[in-house]
Chains A and B, each alone.
Chain A
């Protein structure tokens, strides 16, 4: 629905029974999360809950871009990885067994040790800056592409980062990566996830909550509304005087910042960053998490991450084929409940129709918009979708087709 109608509905809901119900449920959930350490083991706090939240932050950056910006990006993992590598490079004294011009002693290049002693807060700021800066760069490169091209160019950019991390020994230390990133110790409290799970859990919980509410705020802000408008109908927005590319680049940059946040927490959890953490499999995993959770719901990021973590954790006790389990779950969701687990109630309500023809499951507003943007012009998306009112766009245009007139 249009953003303004949505705002009105939300405002109205505050006074209705449903609003109270939602608030109550949210309250229960918040209480549960805050008191979780009281009845959970250290392992569950970190390996399940905290890790899910960290992956959820990454998925959130993807959902924000995809659901509200109309851009499905596969570069989030790489951007998070760049932030993680920055933390490693700046805070860990490590040996680079590399080939460095000038480091030749008696005809042999020897490895050298990087003594890194940046204060953690500075390293974190720089790491976030690095993620954001690279996101800006990626955005500038890819903003002119749309739909599937955008997906593929972001995938290619992610693979470049992976390959450079894998092959380069002077900065990234190649295949082995950089290990030993210690979580901070602030004011006598150590956040090391294995030794002190409770502080780490709360750290991640607070950060995740900040990111979640932050993103929700952004999409309701004028910028966020403009972004959704651009997602739905860039030509009209352009006609209204909005700078379409600028908004997209800004959104991508913000998503990169979020990914960087996730990356910092990620490297503190694993205490190592190496190319294996940002390869194609991990890149696709974030997409899987977003889809399983529900691509148009921010909560879906965390729900999907939790589901994913639980399956990979526990399915391996029962079967070696847990990847098949994940793949099948993903397939079933895409085919039958495209809005993921969050959209499950909606799917169930529509079950009778869905079982016979799953084509008729309409996706949420933003997914439909995504579909249009994947059409690369009116020739495909317009044809195979039920004709909507309004004149067809001129062919050969590079903008998305007009998609229904609301006025």
Chain B
């Protein structure tokens, strides 16, 4: 064990036996915020994935490719016009179109054959990854959000709560504004999705179709149109997540794989087809990832996977998933 790890262990022991120091609490608060904001991005990526699976039983393993492609296109739009908002719109909108075309041309004719559809999306992801590499190369691309949401924000609330509840005197928490914005943005998207599913006619149709597709179709509703719309929406969410991530950190070739895996994990933990589950799963994954990087950096990734396996072993349908 290295010296740094020894110190960390000692610190943890001290924390447990003596109670946390101000520094420890301050760090912990920051790590928690990091986890929440990381989770917000994971929610954006995973929400599209879970919607597509929930309704159409399609495991879209090209979801990562949509994420990356949307991010690249969003970057190009921002780079040529300087408008960050345009980058977001282009990233999401272009992927909606791509998703729609994919679903209509390749997936709809083999509807119902779940394994085959999954394999088709795998093939698509391989081709897409290679073509994106050919065109965009191995560089990192990142967007800069407008100055209004850049910079740092002071959050006196948090320190006030901590200081009020304990005898510590923690300084005010200063946190990057853009990350807070991302969290808020993801929350808004989540709420809008929830409203769409629960308060609109389209949402009722979607929820009914999840339960009994034939019946919905028998009622004269164009179920194929619903599928197409929802796939486009899921793809748009993926592209949106790509642009947001490119603004928060960056995107580069090969990013489709880890974000596809992340979507899978989030959705497995939270439950396939459940938006609330995706939110819970995303927050869990984000928190575990950041705590892991902070306290046990060399094991962070394995812990996330182990968490997923535990959930699957104990509750195979996920936290908020419906039993098969």
When A and B assemble into the complex, do they touch directly, with CB atoms less than 8 Å apart?
A: yes
In chain A, positions 361-388 with a C-beta closer than 8 Å to chain B are 363, 367, 370-371, 374-377, 379-381, 383-385
In chain B, positions 266-324 with a C-beta closer than 8 Å to chain A are 268, 298-299, 301-302, 305-306, 308-309, 312-313, 316, 323-324
Q: Which residues of B contact A99 (CB under 8 A)?
A: 1-2, 5
A159–B307 alpha-carbon span in the complex (Å): 13
Taking the complex as formed, is A19 at the interface, i.e. its CB lies under 8 A from any CB of chain B? no
Contact (A334, B312) CB under 8 Å given A101-B1, A152-B264, A323-B126? no
**Contact between chains at B1 and A145 (CB < 8 Å):** no
Q: Name the segment of B114-122, B171-179, B188-196, B233-241 touching the other chain.
A: B114-122
A324–B115 alpha-carbon span in the complex (Å): 21
**Contact between chains at B212 and A379 (CB < 8 Å):** yes
Within the complex, the shortest CB–CB distance from B110 to chain A, in Å, comes to 6
Within the complex, the shortest CB–CB distance from A191 to chain B, in Å, comes to 34
Q: Which residue of A lies closest to B56 (CB)?
A: A380
Within the complex, the shortest CB–CB distance from B95 to chain A, in Å, comes to 19
Interface size class of B (residues with CB under 8 A): 35 or more
Q: Which residues of A contact B2 (CB under 8 A)?
A: 99, 109
B118's partner among A100, A151, A338 (CB-CB below 8 A) is A151
Binary per-residue interface labels of chain A (134-150) against chain B in the complex, 1 for a CB within 8 Å, 0 otherwise: 00000001101111110
Taking the complex as formed, is B27 at the interface, i.e. its CB lies under 8 A from any CB of chain A? no
A142–B5 alpha-carbon span in the complex (Å): 34
Contact (A380, B114) CB under 8 Å given A163-B305, A335-B106? yes
**Contact between chains at A381 and B119 (CB < 8 Å):** no
Interface size class of A (residues with CB under 8 A): 35 or more
Q: Name the segment of A237-245, A256-264, A325-333, A342-350 touching the other chain.
A: A325-333
In terms of DSSP, what is the predominant structure of the interface of chain A?
A: helix
A383–B111 alpha-carbon span in the complex (Å): 10
Taking the complex as formed, is B113 at the interface, i.e. its CB lies under 8 A from any CB of chain A? yes
In chain A, positions 154-208 with a C-beta closer than 8 Å to chain B are 155-157, 159-160, 163-164, 167-168
Q: Which residues of A contact B212 (CB under 8 A)?
A: 379
A122–B213 alpha-carbon span in the complex (Å): 57
Q: Which residues of A contact B112 (CB under 8 A)?
A: 371, 380-381, 383-385
**Contact between chains at A330 and B126 (CB < 8 Å):** yes
A99–B211 alpha-carbon span in the complex (Å): 53
In chain B, positions 55-85 with a C-beta closer than 8 Å to chain A are 57, 59
**Contact between chains at A280 and B111 (CB < 8 Å):** no
A99–B298 alpha-carbon span in the complex (Å): 11
Within the complex, the shortest CB–CB distance from A49 to chain B, in Å, comes to 25
Contact (A327, B110) CB under 8 Å given A152-B264, A159-B261? no
Binary per-residue interface labels of chain A (105-149) against chain B in the complex, 1 for a CB within 8 Å, 0 otherwise: 001010000000000000000000000000000000110111111
Contact (A160, B126) CB under 8 Å given A72-B115, A167-B298, A380-B57? no
**Contact between chains at A109 and B1 (CB < 8 Å):** yes
A138–B155 alpha-carbon span in the complex (Å): 46
Taking the complex as formed, is A93 at the interface, i.e. its CB lies under 8 A from any CB of chain B? no
Within the complex, the shortest CB–CB distance from B221 to chain A, in Å, comes to 15
**Contact between chains at A359 and B59 (CB < 8 Å):** no
**Contact between chains at A398 and B265 (CB < 8 Å):** no
Q: Which residues of B contact A374 (CB under 8 A)?
A: 57, 114-115, 118
**Contact between chains at A370 and B305 (CB < 8 Å):** no
B119's partner among A141, A146, A160, A291 (CB-CB below 8 A) is A291
**Contact between chains at A376 and B134 (CB < 8 Å):** no
Within the complex, the shortest CB–CB distance from A67 to chain B, in Å, comes to 12
Q: Which residue of B lies closest to A326 (CB)?
A: B126
A396–B317 alpha-carbon span in the complex (Å): 13
Taking the complex as formed, is B124 at the interface, i.e. its CB lies under 8 A from any CB of chain A? yes
Q: Which residue of A lies closest to B258 (CB)?
A: A280
A324's partner among B114, B127, B268 (CB-CB below 8 A) is B127
Q: Which residues of B contact A18 (CB under 8 A)?
A: none
A100–B323 alpha-carbon span in the complex (Å): 44
B312's partner among A149, A357, A383 (CB-CB below 8 A) is A149
A15–B180 alpha-carbon span in the complex (Å): 76
Taking the complex as formed, is A17 at the interface, i.e. its CB lies under 8 A from any CB of chain B? no
Taking the complex as formed, is B138 at the interface, i.e. its CB lies under 8 A from any CB of chain A? no
Within the complex, the shortest CB–CB distance from B134 to chain A, in Å, comes to 6
Q: Which residue of A lies closest to B113 (CB)?
A: A371
B309's partner among A160, A334, A380 (CB-CB below 8 A) is A160
Contact (A156, B302) CB under 8 Å given A99-B1, A398-B324? no
Binary per-residue interface labels of chain A (214-228) against chain B in the complex, 1 for a CB within 8 Å, 0 otherwise: 000000000000000
Within the complex, the shortest CB–CB distance from B116 to chain A, in Å, comes to 6
Within the complex, the shortest CB–CB distance from A320 to chain B, in Å, comes to 7
**Contact between chains at A321 and B110 (CB < 8 Å):** no
A147's partner among B114, B127, B130, B261 (CB-CB below 8 A) is B114
**Contact between chains at B123 and A330 (CB < 8 Å):** yes
Contact (A398, B323) CB under 8 Å given A370-B115, A371-B114? yes
Contact (A146, B324) CB under 8 Å given A334-B116, A375-B57? yes
Q: Which residue of A lies closest to B215 (CB)?
A: A383
Within the complex, the shortest CB–CB distance from A110 to chain B, in Å, comes to 12
**Contact between chains at B130 and A323 (CB < 8 Å):** yes
Q: Which residues of A contact B312 (CB under 8 A)?
A: 141-142, 145, 149, 153, 156
The 18 listed contacts between A and B (C-beta, < 8 Å) are: A99-B2, A101-B1, A141-B309, A146-B324, A148-B114, A149-B316, A151-B59, A157-B305, A321-B134, A323-B126, A323-B130, A324-B131, A331-B124, A371-B113, A374-B118, A383-B214, A384-B112, A384-B113
Give the 9 A-B CB pairs with smallest separation, nearest first. Answer: A384-B112, A327-B126, A374-B114, A331-B123, A327-B127, A323-B130, A376-B324, A160-B305, A330-B123
Given contacts A323-B130, A324-B126, A359-B109, 14 further A-B contacts (CB under 8 A): A72-B115, A145-B312, A156-B265, A156-B268, A156-B305, A156-B309, A159-B261, A280-B261, A287-B122, A291-B119, A323-B127, A327-B127, A358-B109, A371-B112
